[in-house]
Amino acid sequence: MESRAVITRKQNTVERGETRARRSLYWQYVVEPFVYLSPSIILIGAVMLMPLIIGISYSFQSIELLRPFNTGWIGFENYAKLWADRKFWIALENTFWWTFWSITLQFFLGLGLAMLLNTHFFGKKLFQALVFLPWAVPTFLSALTWAWLFNPVIGPLPHWLTALGILSEPYNILGDPDLALWGPIAANVWFGVPFFAITLLAALQSIPGDMYEAAEIDGASAWQTFTKITLPFLAPMIAITVMLRTIWIANFADLIYVMTGGGPANSTQIISSYIFTTAFRRLDFGYASAIAVVLLILLMIYAVILLVIRKKLVKV
Amino acid sequence: MGFSQLKRPALVVGKYAAIVFYLVFALFPLYWLVKIAVTPDRLIYTDGTRLWPSEFTLSNFVAVLFQTDFLSYFSNSLIVSLGTAALTTLFAAGAGYAFSRFDFGGKKLIIAIMLITQMFPLLMIIAPIYKIIAGLGLLNSLTSLIIVYTAFNIPFATFLMQSFFDGIPKDLEEAAMMDGCSRFEALRKVILPLTLPGLGATLGFVFTAAWSELLFALMLISKNDTMTFPVGLLTFVSKFSVDWGQMMAAGVLALIPSCLFFIFIQRYLVQGLTSGAVKG
């Protein structure tokens, strides 16, 4: 009898607690999280999402600040102009090469650095701090520094490249339409290697050590250990990092704008720098927005393709 | 690990060659920047590609600090970057806390939107933002830059803060709430002191991001007295493109705050960046 009384009393308290919980459910699930979230949501909505929609609508309008009386809706005229714009197609091709070489070089140099940092050697902490430093250098300054390094008047690079027989004489490759894109790529690789190294290092450190011990006992060579253990473990991280970085690099116009301004003769113009020069120099907002919408669509297609490939790989 | 086979001499030599290569690759450009900045102007051409300056001077720094507008650019940038870092960290801490501790309707949608803002070309909104800010009469003001940068940095900072909150056991604040604290009191008294390193790291990331931003600042600021450092330096370069020593001295000065913050956040890099990078 006594024990039953205890049980009913217990049930009572539980029930009372539940009603209180139910009353506060509304507060907890609907109101309270948004108290913490609202400043962020409002700001992102006002500064990013609303302008995004306005930007898409701009691409169907003629908005040139230099010709203020020429505004109005023009349908797909900006896009038709874009289709016939030779500069746009050059920029598209340059975007491909810029992104491809930047990401490839960043990735392999970053992987090498991460594997190096995953070993033990004297002074490793200091080494790590020093090699990660370029990541902290402001992008405009990386761009200027590399532009200066490529300048034969004050920079050593043209002289060294000549001594190595790569250049016939020490001149500025940023002024040579055939080679100019390599200037910003070099700056981008320098700036981006630490990021890859950091992400890959974290992934490397998550590989359980006994895997390597087991491989060693089985007499695996260093190459076998790398291809059979390290790479498979890193693969998911590599896939996602490369995807995110590709999108980021394709959007990244600062280096090119500062180092070459897209020149000479549009040989370094990529789509994102073309958007910026169209908006900033020519103040043609309608056309700039149309280019931006096309870039957005291309990046979305790219992301979808990658996600599909990734899903297929995971299934197999 | 993984390199326990590294006992063969060729591999050891290779390893140290790689160490030297990465060091030179990372540091040489910065070294050159400093080298030209401390070389007297008249020696820049004769010194050429010599690795060590034959004479040393600080006159370029003195000239940059006292004869140009760089001090004003510097303080403008400092105001913008500190303002952005403080606001972003405050808002992102709130949002990160909400993501970490609550389950609520629309959570997935909000996270998805934040991820999308990290993907689309920011330049896409440069024209609309210019028109909106011009319409509000806020062109050439540091406030508009702070607002715009804060919004840009919130998504990444939120994911970063969320990962720091996720690392703190829920029991801690539940215990405090049992003892009669409200949730906000528990957050302020129990959780916040534990996330101080996380807050510091977020402040550092956002500060460096705001300090480097160039394109929106170029678009929104055209008056000399509100120019931030990147805009000022670029204007200086295009106007006085032969004054190498002064330009590089200005560059070295721009490097200092970022480097200080970098040293400060260095130890959070591997944990912080990866958790943020994977998600955002």
> Is B7's pLDDT higher than 70?
no
- Whether B255 and A257 lie within 8 Å, measured CB to CB: no
- Establish if B1 belongs to a structural domain: no
B69 shares a domain with B53: no
pLDDT of residue B245: 84
Of A149, A251, A272, which has the smallest distance from its Cβ to B29's Cβ? A149
The band of B151, judged by pLDDT with boundaries at 50, 70 and 90, is very high
B 38-97: CB under 8 A from A: 44-45, 48-49, 90-92, 94-95, 97
CA–CA separation, A23 and A169 (whole Å): 80
Rounded to an integer, the average pLDDT of A237-264 is: 87
Give the contacts of A241 (CB within 8 A, at least 6 positions apart).
A196, A199, A200, B277
How far B33 CA lies from chain A's nearest CA (Å)? 7
pLDDT of residue A234: 82
Of A116, A160, A285, which has the smallest distance from its Cβ to B127's Cβ? A285
- Establish if B188 belongs to a structural domain: yes
Q: Mean pLDDT of all residues in chain B?
A: 84
List the single best residue of A48, A149, A284 to mutate versus B (max B Cβ within 10 A).
A48
Of B123, B125, B152, which has the smallest distance from its Cβ to A253's Cβ? B123
B158 shares a domain with B229: yes
In total, chain A counts a number of residues equal to: 316
> Is A1's pLDDT higher than 90?
no
DSSP SS3 for B51: coil
| Interface check B24 vs A, CB under 8 A | no
Q: Which domain holds residue B173?
A: 65-279
CA–CA separation, B227 and A131 (whole Å): 31
pLDDT of residue B276: 44
pLDDT of residue A16: 52
CA–CA separation, B80 and B210 (whole Å): 7
CA–CA separation, B95 and B90 (whole Å): 9
> Is A315's pLDDT higher than 70?
no
Q: Where do the H-state alpha helices sit in B213-273?
A: 215-220, 229-239, 244-265
Instruction: Name every chain A residue with its beta carbon within 8 A of the beta carbon of B95.
Output: 36-37, 39-41
From the CB of residue A243, how many other CB atoms can be counted at a distance below 10 Å?
A: 19
The band of B271, judged by pLDDT with boundaries at 50, 70 and 90, is low
- Whether B214 and A139 lie within 8 Å, measured CB to CB: yes
pLDDT of residue B1: 42
B139 shares a domain with B201: yes
B110 shares a domain with B33: no
Of B118, B127, B266, which has the smallest distance from its Cβ to A58's Cβ? B127
Instruction: Report which of residues B241 and A96 the model is more confident about.
Output: A96
The band of B122, judged by pLDDT with boundaries at 50, 70 and 90, is confident
Instruction: Report which of residues A83 and B10 the model is more confident about.
Output: A83
B79 shares a domain with B41: no
Instruction: Name every chain A residue with its beta carbon within 8 A of the beta carbon of B215.
Output: 253-254, 257, 276, 280
Q: What is the pLDDT of residues A84-138, one digit of tens each?
A: 999 999 999 999 999 999 999 999 999 999 989 988 888 888 898 889 889 888 8
Q: What is the pLDDT of residues B138-149, one digit of tens each?
A: 899 999 999 999
Which of A59-63, A70-74, A111-115, B14-18 has the lowest average pLDDT?
Answer: A70-74
pLDDT of residue B4: 46
pLDDT of residue B37: 87
B193 shares a domain with B130: yes
Are B80 and B149 in contact, with CB atoms under 8 Å apart?
A: yes
B121 shares a domain with B30: no
Measured CA distances, B2 to A52, A117, A122 (Å) = 47, 12, 18
- Whether B125 and A55 lie within 8 Å, measured CB to CB: yes
List the single best residue of B34, B125, B191 to mutate versus A (max A Cβ within 10 A).
B125
Q: Is B51 exposed, middle or buried, given 0-12, 13-18 or 19+ CB atoms closer than 10 A?
A: exposed
- Whether A198 and B269 lie within 8 Å, measured CB to CB: yes
> Is B125's pLDDT higher than 60?
yes
- Whether B23 and A202 lie within 8 Å, measured CB to CB: no
Which of A36-40, A51-55, A240-244, B68-72 has the lowest average pLDDT?
Answer: A240-244
Angle (CA) B247 B209 B245, round 5°: 10
Q: Is B271 exposed, middle or buried, given 0-12, 13-18 or 19+ CB atoms closer than 10 A?
A: middle
Reference B37, options B241, B256, B242, B245; nearest CA is B245
Which of B75-84, B117-126, B179-188, B258-267 has the lowest average pLDDT?
Answer: B258-267
Q: Where do the H-state alpha helices sit in B179-222?
A: 183-186, 192-212, 215-220
Instruction: Name every chain A residue with its beta carbon within 8 A of the beta carbon of B23.
Output: 127, 130-131
Q: In terms of CA atoms, which chain A residue is nearest residue B124? A: A292
Instruction: Name every chain A residue with its beta carbon within 8 A of the beta carbon of B122.
Output: 251
How far A239 CA lies from chain B's nearest CA (Å)? 10
How far A193 CA lies from chain B's nearest CA (Å)? 9
B70 shares a domain with B207: yes
From the CB of residue B1, how many other CB atoms can be counted at a distance below 10 Å?
A: 18
| Structural element, H or E, at residue A72 | strand A72-73
Rounded to an integer, the average pLDDT of A24-47 is: 83
- Whether A275 and B124 lie within 8 Å, measured CB to CB: yes
> Is B67's pLDDT higher than 70?
yes
- Whether B219 and A280 lie within 8 Å, measured CB to CB: yes
> Is A276's pLDDT higher than 90?
yes
> Is B58's pLDDT higher than 60?
yes
- Whether B44 and A154 lie within 8 Å, measured CB to CB: yes
pLDDT of residue A5: 47
B224 CA to centre of own chain: 23
Q: What is the pLDDT of residues A286-296, one digit of tens each?
A: 999 999 999 99
Bridge partners, A72 (sequence order): A62
Instruction: Name every chain A residue with its beta carbon within 8 A of the beta carbon of B123.
Output: 251, 253, 272, 275-276, 279, 288, 292
The two tokens of residue B259 are 């480097």
pLDDT of residue A20: 58
Are B145 and B209 in contact, with CB atoms under 8 Å apart?
A: no
Reference B37, options A145, A156, A170, A150; nearest CA is A145
Q: What is the pLDDT of residues A132-191, one digit of tens each?
A: 889 888 899 999 999 989 988 888 898 899 888 888 888 888 888 889 999 999 999 999
Instruction: Name every chain B residue with its beta carbon within 8 A of the beta carbon of A52.
Output: 120, 124-125, 128
- Whether A39 and B94 lie within 8 Å, measured CB to CB: yes
Q: Is the dihedral of CA A217, A220, A226, A228 positive or negative?
A: negative
Compute the half-sphere exposure of residue A214: CA atoms within 13 Å on the CB side of its CA: 7
| Structural element, H or E, at residue A191 | helix A182-205
pLDDT of residue A69: 78
B257 shares a domain with B218: yes
Q: Is the peptide bond preceding residue A264 cis, with omega within 30 degrees of 0?
A: yes
Q: Residue B267's domain is classified under what CATH number? A: 1.10.3720.10
pLDDT of residue B27: 93
Measured CA distances, A3 to A16, A33, A161 (Å) = 20, 42, 91
Instruction: Name every chain B residue with its beta carbon within 8 A of the beta carbon of A247.
Output: 119
pLDDT of residue A306: 81
> Is B2's pLDDT higher than 70?
no
B252 shares a domain with B180: yes
What string of H, E and C letters represents the secondary structure of B120-141? CCHHHHHHHHHHHHHHCCCCCC
Instruction: Name every chain B residue with its beta carbon within 8 A of the beta carbon of A58.
Output: 127-128
Query: End of a domain among B57, B77, B93?
Result: B57
> Is A18's pLDDT higher than 80?
no
How far B103 CA lies from chain A's nearest CA (Å)? 7
The two tokens of residue A38 are 């609202």
Which of A66-70, A304-308, B110-114 has the lowest average pLDDT?
Answer: A66-70
Strand-strand pairing, A72-73 and A61-62: antiparallel
B145 shares a domain with B41: no
B259 shares a domain with B157: yes
- Establish if B2 belongs to a structural domain: no
CA–CA separation, B210 and B258 (whole Å): 10
Instruction: Name every chain B residue with its beta carbon within 8 A of the beta carbon of A55.
Output: 124-125, 127-128
pLDDT of residue A106: 95
pLDDT of residue B267: 66
- Establish if B71 belongs to a structural domain: yes
Measured CA distances, A246 to A191, A251, A283, B119, B269 (Å) = 15, 9, 28, 10, 21
> Is B160's pLDDT higher than 80?
yes
Rounded to an integer, the average pLDDT of B219-226 is: 91
Rounded to an integer, the average pLDDT of B207-217 is: 91
Give the contacts of A176 (CB within 8 A, at least 6 positions apart).
A264
Instruction: Report which of residues A316 and B242 the model is more confident about.
Output: B242
Q: In terms of CA atoms, which chain A residue is nearest residue B30? A: A145
Rounded to an integer, the average pLDDT of A238-259 is: 88
> Is A7's pLDDT higher than 50?
no
Instruction: Name every chain A residue with its beta carbon within 8 A of the beta carbon of B92.
Output: 40
Of A141, A240, A251, which has the smallest distance from its Cβ to B278's Cβ? A240
* Total number of domains constituting chain B: 2
Q: Where do the H-state alpha helices sit in B39-120?
A: 44-47, 59-67, 70-101, 107-119
